[in-house]
């Protein structure tokens, strides 16, 4: 491809150099941010804070298992499947299914017990947690979503 053709094609791109601000102009212009109102005081964060949040929408794909801990805390364990699809370069659509282990505690476990069954579609919000088990020679890790919000869809 010749240099002339490349230059012509670049000038047709809407984000070409003529539309971009110089670096000095960008530094002087304050960044506009969309106002995000936290729902509660505990959700207020600074820009430097990194949070552990997971949002999933999928189907419960396993039998929900319930138990009570020694301290009388109710726990519900289940698995949620999510699907992701994308087209490749030839236009053929590929998909993959991922499985996420979820634990609900106390009040949320009661909600799960009373309102959800295998096959239910749900929206989840939670935090990733990792448990380690096994001896020092054979350490194993188990990562799951610690449920904080749930909505049946």
Q: Is the pTM of this model over 0.75?
A: no
Distance between CA atoms of 17 and 22, rounded to whole angstroms? 9
CATH architecture, range 41-152: Beta Barrel (2.40)
Output phi, psi for 100, to 5 deg: -125, 125
Q: How far is CA 38 from CA 35, 42, 43, in A?
A: 10, 8, 6
**pLDDT tens digits in sequence order for the chain, 153 residues long:** 444 444 444 444 444 444 445 555 555 555 555 555 555 555 555 555 778 999 999 999 989 999 999 999 999 999 999 999 999 999 899 999 999 999 999 999 999 999 899 999 999 999 999 999 888 888 899 999 999 999 999
Identify the pLDDT of residue 65: 95
| Cβ atoms 93, 87 nearer than 8 A | yes
Q: Can you give the residue ranges of every domain in the chain?
A: 41-152
């Amino acid at each position: 491809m010749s240099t002339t053709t490349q230059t012509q094609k670049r000038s047709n791109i809407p984000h070409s150099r003529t539309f971009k601000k110089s670096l000095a102009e960008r530094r002087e212009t304050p960044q506009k941010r969309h106002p995000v109102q936290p729902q509660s005081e505990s959700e207020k964060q600074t820009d430097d804070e990194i949070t552990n949040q997971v949002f999933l929408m999928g189907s419960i794909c396993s039998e929900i298992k319930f138990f009570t801990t020694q301290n009388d805390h109710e726990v519900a364990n289940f698995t949620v499947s999510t699907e992701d699809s994308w087209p490749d370069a030839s236009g053929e659509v590929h998909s993959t299914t991922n499985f996420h282990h979820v634990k609900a505690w106390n009040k949320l476990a009661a909600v799960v017990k009373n309102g959800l069954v295998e096959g239910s579609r749900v929206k989840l919000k939670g935090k990733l947690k990792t448990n380690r088990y096994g001896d020092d020679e054979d350490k194993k890790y188990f990562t799951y979503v610690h449920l904080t919000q749930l909505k049946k869809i």
